[in-house]
């Protein structure tokens, strides 16, 4: 059974070097092209997933739609969950990555950005642009969880919960499953699948719009991993 992971194509805020997290920004034109290429690569490799999962954020939802369209495989069910969202970047959402690094220093910046259990500072309600960077979004009204910041560890908890609730049963029943999600929600899943230690997780970077395909046994052991580059 195959598990296909695709990080969304470049978003408008990736292009501007801004922390994004749960802010719902659109794909850039380059990102749409990357999503298309991801679908083309899957087609060339003859990988046709039976079901697709994505987050509540449109950069991932649109990546899934564009890739499946290119694959000629739009009929499959696509299920969305907030549990596959990008990690919540707290007070850093909407801020320029270089400016944040300058303000907090390289060490804390890297501990938050690529470490395991250091969350970004939470968003403070007293901030003048609080409503812009922490928008009230009705799609989260009923989930009972709207974090003010998340570490990779927090992100991993919800991703792995969802993996066992929904994705593993689909792998076992349908065989091939695609997930279109985000840099950090996918890092959390890869960390789990590949049994990567917290102190080594900073080495893992996930390129945008690049299918990573795991061939798994029924016990979720990796038989093979292929990265389809453009
Ligand atoms: O801004 C974000 O939400 C993420 C992904 O783009 O940033 P980073 O790669 O720095 O964790």
CATH of residue 17's domain is: 3.40.50.1240
pLDDT reported for residue 58? 98
182 is catalytic: no
Rounded to two decimals, what is the model's pTM?
0.96
Please name which of 22, 83, 80 lies closest in space to residue 52, comparing C-alpha atoms.
80
**In a structure prediction context, what are the per-residue pLDDT tens digits for the chain, which is 230 residues long?**
999 999 999 999 999 999 999 999 999 999 999 999 999 999 999 999 999 999 999 999 999 999 999 999 999 999 999 999 999 999 999 999 999 999 999 999 999 999 999 999 998 888 888 888 888 888 998 898 889 999 999 999 999 999 999 999 999 999 999 999 999 999 999 999 999 999 999 999 999 999 999 999 999 999 999 999 86
Q: Is 113 in the pocket of ligand 1 (CB under 6 A)?
A: yes
pLDDT reported for residue 84? 98
Q: How many domains does the chain have?
A: 1
pLDDT reported for residue 97? 98
158 annotated ligand-binding residue: no
Q: Is 14 in the pocket of ligand 1 (CB under 6 A)?
A: yes
78: left (phi over 0), alpha (psi -120 to 50) or beta: beta
Distance of CA 175 to the CA centre of its chain: 22
Atom of ligand 1 nearest to the CA of 93: 1
pLDDT reported for residue 134? 84
C-alpha distances in angstroms, 33 versus 45, 53, 74, 181, 184?
Answer: 18, 20, 17, 16, 21
**Strand order from edge to edge, sheet including 222-227:** 77-80, 51-54, 177-181, 2-7, 212-216, 222-227
Domain extent for 125: 2-227
Atom of ligand 1 nearest to the CA of 86: 3
- Decide: 43 and 72 in contact? Cβ < 8 Å: yes
Q: How many CB atoms lie within 10 A of CB 136?
A: 8
- Decide: 8 and 63 in contact? Cβ < 8 Å: yes
């Amino acid at each position: 059974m195959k598990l296909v992971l695709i990080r969304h194509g470049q978003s408008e805020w990736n292009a501007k070097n801004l922390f994004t997290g749960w802010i719902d920004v659109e794909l850039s034109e380059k990102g749409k092209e990357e999503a298309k290429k991801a679908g083309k690569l899957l087609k060339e490799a003859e990988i046709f997933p039976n079901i697709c999962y994505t987050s509540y954020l449109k950069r991932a939802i649109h990546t899934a739609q564009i890739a499946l369209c290119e694959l000629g495989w739009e009929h499959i069910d696509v299920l969305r969950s907030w549990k596959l969202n990008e990690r919540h970047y707290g007070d850093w959402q909407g801020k320029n990555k270089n400016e944040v690094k300058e303000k907090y220093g390289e060490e804390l910046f890297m501990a938050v950005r690529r470490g395991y259990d250091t969350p970004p500072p939470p968003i403070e309600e007293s901030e003048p642009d609080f409503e812009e960077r922490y928008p009230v979004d009705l799609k989260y009204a009923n989930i009972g969880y709207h974090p003010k910041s998340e570490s990779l560890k927090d992100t991993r908890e919800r991703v792995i919960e969802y993996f066992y609730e929904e994705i593993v049963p689909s792998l076992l029943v349908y065989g091939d499953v695609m997930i279109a999600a985000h840099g950090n929600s996918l890092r959390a899943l890869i960390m789990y699948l590949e049994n990567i230690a917290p102190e080594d997780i900073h080495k893992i970077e996930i390129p945008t719009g690049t299918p990573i395909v795991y061939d798994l046994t029924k016990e979720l052991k990796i038989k093979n991993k292929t990265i389809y580059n453009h």
